Structure 1
Amino acid sequence: MIEEGRPLFLQIAEAIEESILDGSLVEDAQAPSTNELAAFHRINPATAAKGVAMLVDKGVLIKRRGIGMFVAGGARDILLGERRTAFAERFIDPLIAEARTLGLGAEDLTALLHERTQHAERTASTEGSRA
């Protein structure tokens, strides 16, 4: 799971975020402790704590004194909102810029998106029937 060249604390935070997004770590559930994370990933507990602290700062995890860290109510919505924003900045904004260059409007993009979605669904269903 640990990737070379990327800060470990970010990878720890992202792994917890993924667990929240995929539903394996639900709201109000206890999150792994920094010591558990450190032991599992064989890293320094301070590094794990830095990743957890990032999530506390975002409002994704909350600390319950003497009990541990828990997934905050609304954590999944916070993360989905961040992902949507990042998706728009990374993919939609450049798409709109290129569409303008090509003289395509919103209706044209909607039609292209619909067409490509149908194509992808047909391709997926034919590949699924071959298996």
Structure 2
Amino acid sequence: MNTLKPRIPAFLPWAGAALFGAAVGLGGWWLTVWARLHCLADQDAGGNLELNVLLLLVPGMGVLAALAALRIGRLLTRSAPTAVRRVTPVLLIAVMTVLPVWWVFADRGTLDGYPSHSDACPSSNIPPQWPDWIPA
């Protein structure tokens, strides 16, 4: 009996990578807003405008990073075994989207030395709830 194997549509990995990158970017933007609101840092018109611009840029950056990671992962593993061809792009997508978004949070979310209007945060503007084992 000749049965056909189900095939994954060609666009599905690209769409999944783009959605994952956008979700990670949106999560990073949300963390940035959360840190600033908790510490009441940069609560002026310029700071709010910056956060609105970041709302467009950070998820877009996540999408581009995820798509680039998928392409690089596929190019690097063309002649590798199937397991390596499946795992390598996924790991690259995770690393290449999380690291830039993490950098945006650490750079724009925790405004080191910016005068805070709240006693809830130290001068580094890193909220006390932030885990110590994750650098910010």
Q: For the superposition of Structure 1 and Structure 2, which TM-score range results when normalised by the shorter chain?
A: under 0.3
Greater share of strand: 1
So what's the TM-score if we normalise by structure 2?
Answer: 0.26
